[in-house]
Chain A
Amino acid sequence: MPSLFDKLWSSHEIAATPGGTSLIAIDRVFLHERTGAAALNSLAAAGRSVRHPARAFVAMDHIVDTRPGRTDATLMPGGQAFITETRAAARANGLTLFDVGDPDQGIMHVVSPELGIVLPGLTLVAPDSHTCTQGAVGALAWGIGSTEAEHALATGTLRARKPPSMRVRFEGALAPGVTAKDMALALIAAHGSAGGQGMAIEFAGSAVRALPMEARMTLCNMATEFAAFAAFIAPDETTFGWLKGRRHAPSGALWELALAQWRLLASDADAGFEREILIDAATIGLMVSWGTSPSQSIPITGTVPADADARPLAYMGLERGQRLLGLPIAGAFIGSCTNSRLPDLSRAAAIVRGRRVAPGVRALVVPGSSAVKRAAEAEGLDRVFLEAGFEWRESGCSMCFYAGGESFGAGERVVSSTNRNFESRQGLGTRTHITSPEVVAASALAGHIAAPE
């Protein structure tokens, strides 16, 4: 009867009020330097402390410099204070810190699975909307604000009403070259940016089962662009094999005990959902956004919709009926918590190898973690990108968003493997098209929006 979500929820429900609010146990909390100091300092000012410091982690990812040879200095005006204050607060509270220069530094949603901090059946929260990424391992992970982060740190719990549930099944096989990013954009384009409004979403079906772990993270990552509360995938042999031996994952007899419980983390055959969506995976093409919401995405071979709104059209410098293929670009960005893991970089490198970025295009690769960077360099991927004319950066969120530091220029058209194409997201007036790393790579070489050959 119960769904995976029912199991994740009920196994963490400490108490419930008559009004429908549950007190939910929180197993892991992640913070970052953009809001970490605010939460920890506010907690201290209220005379409170972190209840389980060993279960709380801090990543330096949002505004750290990603240029080679970086220090605490950052191009964001005043940004250094966020880094130094968060560091001081993390140390004062005894939290595990993935600091600038630390071999484990990276984007929290890359680092956490990489180190086995998030595990199947855990609850994990962070003051970051893309926390849903981490549900890919079969955890209940969701984004919160600073005040709720304080609550989770101080009490080891959160107060929440159980959200309604949705199952999205992708059945069948993806066409060659189609990725998890295309699955996510196709779903959001078909059902709207509010399509998953406040729901706990289980991704299922044969096309999801066939995805490697990193691609599952890409799919779950985009659930917040669908207005979901959380997203997750039932853990399976792919999950267990990927997690085994990671630093914070259990080992020995504990691993066996955990595994026995994790195998129960699946929706029962007769589980009920408030809503179900079925998508034929074979119908999904390479997707690119045309507008300023992820829902404004179309197949790369398509044209801007005839009923497109005026505001995004004006912002993006496009007209109804216009083709995306062939639009000249000024920038290409591969990175972010969506698409910056080793397989993402490998697939892009395979397209780039032996070729050159088109003249006039500024192209960057920003690995999702320092570990991803090292692994890529061990395979020579840094050379592939550098020789083609890409910049090869230190890990972090980088130019996924503009915080007043580095950015693309006004009116510049950029293809990006990131998650948001909002107005001025990557720079004041910058025109962002979100898509897969493969399309970013192919477009960087062509100098215009292009599909891989």
Chain B
Amino acid sequence: MSRPFTTLVAIAAPMLEDNIDTDIIIPSREMKSTGKTGLADGLFAGRRYAGGREPDPGFVLNRPAYARAGILLSGANFGCGSSREHAVWALVEWGIACVIAPSFSPIFAGNAVRGGLLPLVAPAETVAFLASVDGPVAVDLPAQTVAAGGRSFAFEIDAEAKAMLIGGLDAIDLTMEQMPAIRRWEEADQRVRPWVSTPLG
């Protein structure tokens, strides 16, 4: 279960670089426990802190204007690299509920939907426009629009991802409803590909 996502009006912080990898979002050294919480402090740690744990005033989220940002604007291939879901958990815990970028790493996008973070795909020109606007950005997931500065843009999203985000749904619950079909498939498969389970006991 994640927090349902419907609409969001928030300050959007610009980080308009391509290939913001998950090592940048949360360095491995900041994953200090086996749990899913306590990660906001490590968000962007390599850039956010100057030396030790002193905030680097030049880093976007340390600037007063973006201290309460709820949206992150970024470049192509956001979330590439390690599959660590901690990248999503750290962003959400810090307060980012939506990342708008021209493209996402497929693993990051999947993790985001399951963690209640909207990975919103928009062309680079749209992202640049949103970054140029003084004022909040409004995201309407049911209507699939993102608006700011008097302009509104439509965006595409996978139907199930949309439903899961809006409902804060747990994918396992959805799949459990299909357990009879899964069992039937597995029984048939056991006859076709007996080695898939047999040598493993």
Contact = CB atoms under 8 A, between A and B. Distances in A.
Interface in A1-51: 14-15, 17, 19-21, 23, 25, 27, 34-35, 37-38, 41-42, 46, 48
B80 interface: yes
A15 B200 contact: no
Contacts of B189: 25
A190 interface: no
B33 A147 contact: no
Contact of B196 (A85, A122, A423, A428): A122
A422 B160 contact: no
Interface string B21-40: 10110011101111110000
Given A148-B110, A197-B77, A403 B29 contact: yes
Nearest to A78: B32
Interface in B70-122: 76-77, 80-85, 88, 103, 105-107, 109-111, 114-115
B26 to A, nearest CB: 12
Given A145-B111, A404-B29, A423 B24 contact: yes
Contact of B158 (A14, A21, A425): A21
A408 interface: no
Contacts of B33: 78, 81
Contact of B182 (A82, A155, A160, A250): A155
B199 A249 contact: yes
Contacts of A41: 34
Contact of A197 (B28, B103, B193, B195): B103
Contacts of A77: 32
Interface residues of chain A: helix, strand, loop or mixed (majority): loop
Contact of A154 (B114, B158, B172): B172
B23 A423 contact: yes
Interface string B168-187: 00011011101101100110
Nearest to A293: B19
Nearest to B77: A194
B19 A193 contact: yes
B200 A248 contact: yes
A121 B193 contact: yes
A396 interface: no
Contacts of B171: 147-148, 151, 159
A248 to B, nearest CB: 6
A169 to B, nearest CB: 22
Given A146-B85, A159-B160, A55 B200 contact: yes
A425 B114 contact: no
A128 to B, nearest CB: 6
Contacts of B35: 38
A43 to B, nearest CB: 9
Nearest to A56: B200
Interface residues of A, number: 80
Best-buried of A55, A78, A194 by chain B (most CB within 10 Å): A194
A401 interface: yes
Given A15-B178, A227-B105, A250-B198, A193 B80 contact: yes
B163 A19 contact: yes
Contacts of B34: 37-38, 41, 81-82, 85-86
A269 B42 CA distance: 50
B85 A145 contact: yes
Interface string A88-106: 0000000000000000000
Contacts of A86: 34
Interface stretch (A205-213, A251-259, A325-333): A251-259
A423 B17 CA distance: 14
A21 B159 contact: yes
Interface string A64-92: 00000000000011100110011000000
A143 interface: yes
A229 B24 contact: no
B201 interface: yes
Interface in A152-174: 154-157, 159-161, 163
8 closest residue pairs by CB, A with B: A19-B159, A404-B29, A145-B85, A250-B195, A145-B111, A194-B77, A21-B160, A403-B28
16 contacts: A35-B84, A48-B172, A129-B83, A144-B110, A148-B111, A151-B172, A154-B172, A159-B171, A159-B175, A198-B103, A225-B80, A254-B198, A255-B195, A401-B82, A403-B31, A422-B23
